[in-house]
Structure 1
Amino acid sequence: MQTHSKWLSVIAGAGYSAKTVMYTMLGVFIISSAISALGSENTTQKHVFETIQSQPYGQVMLIAVVAGLICYALWRWLQCVLNTESLDMSKAKDVIMRVFLFVSGLIYLIAAYLGIKVFTGDDSSGQGGSDSQQMTAQLMQYEWGLIIVGAGAVAIIAFAFIQFKHAYTADFIKKFETERLSQGAQEATRKAGRVGYTARGVVYLLVGSFFAFAALNQDASEAGGLQKALETLTEQTFGQYLLGAVGVGFVMFGIYCAFEARYRRT
């Protein structure tokens, strides 16, 4: 049992470390876009992978990040299968959380696949619209596709409000081995998590709204992901400040993930 627990900690730690890199770099790119007013065309996961690969020993670093994302996907599935969060299957919200853990693993596995494509030089993605728009258009070709897009929109919006809940209550601190954290480290974790979850909530709320409009209007072009969410923020009054705030939030979430990599209870 102790050996199994150690392996779970290693897998989870590698996954949260990869998230630290991803969110910190995305946050830096977003802040840079806000400062330079160049827009958000480069604030994507693909650009993160390309930037990592362009560094000295970049291919080794990229493979390490991809491996970390695969570990995180595996960790999410282990959380689902082994019920590491002690979820009560007689409660609807806990059943939904268990399903979310599986879906979360799938999302991060897709992110790892994108990193592999960058590593191999496969530049076929992003042709003829965003990935979100292409996926939505393909789904809408089927009678049941519109229902899936609508259900996905509801799920993403619900997830956004879960992020806001975490930010408000700071309940995420219960996931940590607080006995190993000093009072100052606990406070830093709490602040980083609150700011980070708020930024994620804003982005997910926008993305969910895009998919909802796409479903309601039966128009795949209205769908969008992170890049469209950031572009939408930029178009608002004080848009650059909003964009910068989200960038800071992503950096803070990266810092929070670093605390998770070291101190999260597995």
Structure 2
Amino acid sequence: MPDHLRAALAFGGYAAKTVVYCLLGLLIIGTAIGTFQAKTPSQKSVFVSIVQQPFGQILLGAVIIGMACYVLWRLTQAFFNADNLDSHSAKDIVMRIFYFVSAVIYGFGTYLAIKVFQGVRSSGSGSNSQQMSSNLMQETWGVWVVGICGALIIAFSFIQFKHAIKADFMDKFDRYAMSYRVDVIARLVGRCGFFARGIVYVLVGSFFTHAALTIDPQQAGGLQEALQTIMQQTYGQYGLAVVGAGFFTFGLFCALESWYHRT
């Protein structure tokens, strides 16, 4: 794949993530302080908020295109080794698998955004995670799949915490093109963002694992259930605000990554 096309896919994808994470962070903070809305935000509520703005369909359409670009970029990293990873290194092989899983996750997100763009509303009282778990558990192997999903999500959460501690995400930047101030800002917002993502993912993974152990799809949950769990804790309002701030800073991190990502 030509370098300019890879760069375009990466830029469009990270730009779309900037919009989604910044808006999601603001919605979470707004929920924590009780000013924007009482309902706990979800990924779908982000897309609904975008489409309700002036020229909302145009904005959401641009986000969908950007997210589709990000999916293609992740697939390019996974199958065409865009980052020139060592095919004989176990660590790099795992990284390419992660890129594929990331493409699948954002593929579902893109599909959800398209449904909102088309004006389709979800039916049923359960969350998307609960509905997916329920469908899987109807199969003989479904409980194992849900349990494995939970374990993988928990493992992914620890990767987020590792990034937050070590700041090894800076390796993906073209740091020669960055000023010292931008470098410091990228390190700070990246650490905050990855830490917040780690908190949410470890909760989501626990939900899936618990659903598999109890054979109860109602125990599964996604982003919305994770935020509700945080809110229900002692001083949960403050914890939710911290997570919202972390998601917003991750959006800023994605903005920097769209400009300085090394392709």
TM-score under structure 1 length normalisation:
0.96
Question: Following the alignment from structure 1 to structure 2, what is the Cα–Cα distance between the partners of residues 262 and 37?
Answer: 33
What is the aligned-residue identity percentage?
A: 50
Q: 1:216 to 1:236 in 2, by over 3 A?
A: same
**Which of 37-46 and 162-171 deviates more?**
37-46
Per-residue deviation, 1:56: 1.0
Equivalent runs, 1:1-266 vs 2, <5 Å: 4-36=2-34, 41-123=39-121, 125-266=122-263
Per-residue deviation, 1:98: 1.2
Q: 1:38 to 1:213 in 2, by over 3 A?
A: farther
- Structure 1 residue ranges without an equivalent (≥5): none
Q: Verify the 8 A CA contact 1:136 1:149 in the aligned structure 2.
A: yes
Per-residue deviation, 1:42: 4.2
| Cα deviation digits, residues 65-123 of structure 1 (max 9, x gap) | 00000000000000011112232333333222211211211111111111111111111
Q: Verify the 8 A CA contact 2:158 2:198 in the aligned structure 1.
A: yes
TM-score under structure 2 length normalisation:
0.97
Question: Following the alignment from structure 1 to structure 2, what is the Cα–Cα distance between the partners of residues 224 and 244?
Answer: 20
**Which of 113-122 and 87-96 deviates more?**
87-96
Question: Following the alignment from structure 1 to structure 2, what is the Cα–Cα distance between the partners of residues 215 and 40?
Answer: 31
**Which of 42-51 and 230-239 deviates more?**
42-51
Q: Verify the 8 A CA contact 1:39 1:231 in the aligned structure 2.
A: no
- Structure 2 residue ranges without an equivalent (≥5): none
Q: 1:26 to 1:220 in 2, by over 3 A?
A: same
Question: Following the alignment from structure 1 to structure 2, what is the Cα–Cα distance between the partners of residues 199 and 40?
Answer: 21
| Cα deviation digits, residues 126-183 of structure 1 (max 9, x gap) | 5230000010011111111111111111100000000000000001111111111110
**Which of 230-239 and 35-44 deviates more?**
35-44
Pairs aligned (count)? 263
RMSD: 1.4
Question: Following the alignment from structure 2 to structure 1, what is the Cα–Cα distance between the partners of residues 250 and 103?
Answer: 18
AA of the residue aligned to 2:225: K
